[in-house]
């Protein structure tokens, strides 16, 4: 799946995309998304309680 994504990005941009670089990018993006969702759940509840 990652190889197909790397091939599609390479075709779209015209540059050579390394699979290992793409894996690292996906891992950090997923981790950042997870942290931001957890923060939104924690601080969202505190914000709702403060408003009402």
Phi and psi dihedrals of 28, rounded to 5?
A: -70, -35
Q: How far apart are the C-alpha atoms of 52 and 46, rounded to whole Å?
A: 10
Task: Tell me the pLDDT tens digit for each residue of 1-52.
Answer: 778 888 888 888 888 878 888 889 899 999 999 999 998 888 877 666 665 6
pLDDT at 29: 95
pTM comes to: 0.62
Cβ-contact 6, 19 below 8 angstroms: yes
User: Residues 22-35: pLDDT tens digits?
Assistant: 889 899 999 999 99
Pick the closest to residue 10 from 25, 27, 22 (CA basis): 22
pLDDT of amino acid 11? 87
């Amino acid at each position: 799946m990652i190889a197909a994504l790397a091939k599609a990005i390479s075709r779209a941009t015209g540059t050579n995309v390394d699979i290992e670089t793409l894996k690292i990018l996906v891992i950090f993006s997923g981790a950042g998304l997870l942290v931001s969702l957890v923060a939104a759940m924690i601080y969202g509840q505190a914000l709702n309680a403060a408003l009402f």
